[in-house]
Structure 1
Amino acid sequence: MTTNLILQGLTTQRSDIDRMAALAGGRRIVALADHAYRVEDVQFSEAIKASIDQECFGAKLDYAFTPAARRLADFGLVAMDMDSTLITIECIDEIADMQGLKPQVAEITEAAMRGEIEFRESLTRRVALLKGLEASALQRVYDERLKLSPGAERMLGVVKAAGLKTLLVSGGFTFFTDRMKTRLDLDYTHSNVLEVVDGKLTGRVVGGIVDADEKMHTVERVCAELGISTRKAIVMGDGANDLKMMGISGMSVAFRAKPVVRAQADVALNFVGLDGILSLFE
């Protein structure tokens, strides 16, 4: 199979592109857009990939080895994590900030995303710290702090135009995924329900917790509903709890991700926006 090397960054130096192409033994360099290039007919080996990885990170370039002639329309679903993937924040950390507890909660969040704490345990511990908080704090987080990741809207627009369905599956909360579904016209969402009694958070989640296994099963369920294999899904995430759903996909994308996730993903976007995946297709 002919393999191409995609190189892209927020800015690029042609000398860096030429150097990467030489490392990969590419035959031809094609400019795709501002700061994005395709190096065609490259040699692939784990040793070459390791060299490219080190050189690109130093030059603040994202790279991906891709099959030639792969099209976006070859896929049927884009599944995304929400916190720190589709959006720039961890919602639970910002909710905790309303209680003056952001450092404590953020520390648990980081450990969970690195895979050091099992997600179910971490969520239970973090949500418990929110007990007694006015539920109106959720709207404040949405209004004042939630921002889409760079390139999110462009990526979704092109994906939808190509006929793919969209799934937002999150270890976060329905308060936010419901609003994202409406705001971005997403096809499917699945996340956790925070219990609210008398206008205050109880410190508990209602029903099952959307952990790594549930995320994977959600991708499987949606693909089954669409009548496609999970290999026809592009799955994007940043934390250890995304690895299982990324592992069953046809293309896994680590976005601004923890090292454990970058190491296992097909593609890592460390510098460009979510729309960086669009350069990976012809």
Structure 2
Amino acid sequence: MNLILQGLTTDRNAIDRIAALAHAERIVPIHANAFRCEGVQRSDEIKARVDAECLAAQLDYTFIDGTRKLADFKLVAMDMDSTLITIECIDEIADMQGLKPQVAEITEAAMRGEIEFRESLARRVALLKGLDASALQRVYDERLKLSLGAEKMLTAIQAAGLKTLLVSGGFTFFTDRMKARLGLDFTHSNVLEIENGKLTGRVTGVVVDADEKKATVERVCEELGISTKQAIVMGDGANDLKMMGISGLSVAFRAKPVVRAQADVALNFVGLDGVLPLLS
């Protein structure tokens, strides 16, 4: 068992102290701010102590089988909003309508698992009725930014031959553009209905909720001829848990507590490229 410690900055004294808590046999630098503590012990008590120390030092930690490598995986599946990108697109669209607080409140409740996703989506999209469709392009141009480390992570996994899937409870307007911009292999998301240049307040077709996200990962894996255990799945909200649950490695990125608690990996401080030292 290895313990990977990483941060945006690191204090070697803190690394040494945390490694000692886990009775590491040796510490191997991966890069300037990531370290592999090899031959560690893992128990609930040790994990709790490591968790507290890492939080204080603003470090991410992962206990992981030392034999696991990036080559073991064939697919990386990602949520979009607040995972691959920094924003919740629907909240920013709503801001164009002066309704961001109302919509954001529903979004947060849904991501925490307090409201069923289909209901939350219908309620939020209904509030957008009548908004000029040009607002979507404004959100893309003015507000959409990739999450920290996203491009570095994608470059590395694509170079290693892994396929990529962007599966989102958001909208095709944005996932289509992300696919073209980043060279992604597969995307699946909701379709906003537009009539006469304005949003109708409805989505059309299959709703991409938690069950559909899971089914999409299964479909893409079947198409690629691989097991879902050969997929790395990244997300931040409760509607990502089902697809994360069938993966070989689940990654909670800047995630809600309910998601962090169930994921194999939680990245709270480093970027999306923080997955790479885990499998080096």
* Paired position in structure 1 for 2:134: 136
Aligned residue number for residue 89 of structure 2: 91
User: 1:33 maps to which residue?
Assistant: 31
Match of 1:146 among 144, 147, 151: 144
Matched ranges for 1:1-282 at <5 A:
3-282=1-280
Once the two structures are TM-superposed, the CA of residue 73 in structure 1 deviates from its matched residue by 1.0
Deviations 1:103-131 (A, max 9, x none): 00000000000000000100000000000
Letter in 2 for 1:236: M
**SS in structure 2 opposite 1:124?**
helix
- Kindly provide the CA deviation profile for residues 51-93 of structure 1, in whole angstroms up to 9, marking residues without a partner as x: 2112211210001011113210110100000000000000000
- Deviation per CA, 1:199-242: give whole Å up to 9, x if none: 00000000121000000000000001111110000000000000
Identity among equivalent positions (%) equals 79
What is the CA-CA distance between 1:46 and the residue it aligns to?
A: 2.1
CA distance in 1, matches of 2:51, 2:249: 18
Structure 1 gaps, min length 5:
none
How far residue 162 of structure 1 moved from its aligned partner, in angstroms, is 0.8
**SS in structure 2 opposite 1:236?**
strand
SS in structure 2 of the partner of residue 220 of structure 1:
helix
- Aligned partner letter, 1:199: G
Distance 2:50 2:238 in 1: 24
Runs of 4+ in 1 over 4 A off after TM superposition: none
Cα distance in 2, alignment partners of residues 235 and 46 from structure 1: 25
The count of aligned residue pairs is 280
* Unpaired segments ≥5 residues, structure 2: none
Q: Structure 2 counterpart of 1:165, which letter?
A: K
TM-score (norm 2): 0.99
CA distance in 1, matches of 2:46, 2:116: 34
**How far off its partner does 1:140 sit?**
0.1
Amino acid at match of 2:182: L
What secondary structure sits across from 2:270 in the alignment? coil
Pick which of 63-72 and 221-230 moved more: 63-72
Give the TM-score of the pair, scaled to structure 1: 0.98
Greater Cα offset, 108-117 or 61-70: 61-70
How many Å apart are 1:43 and its aligned residue?
A: 0.5
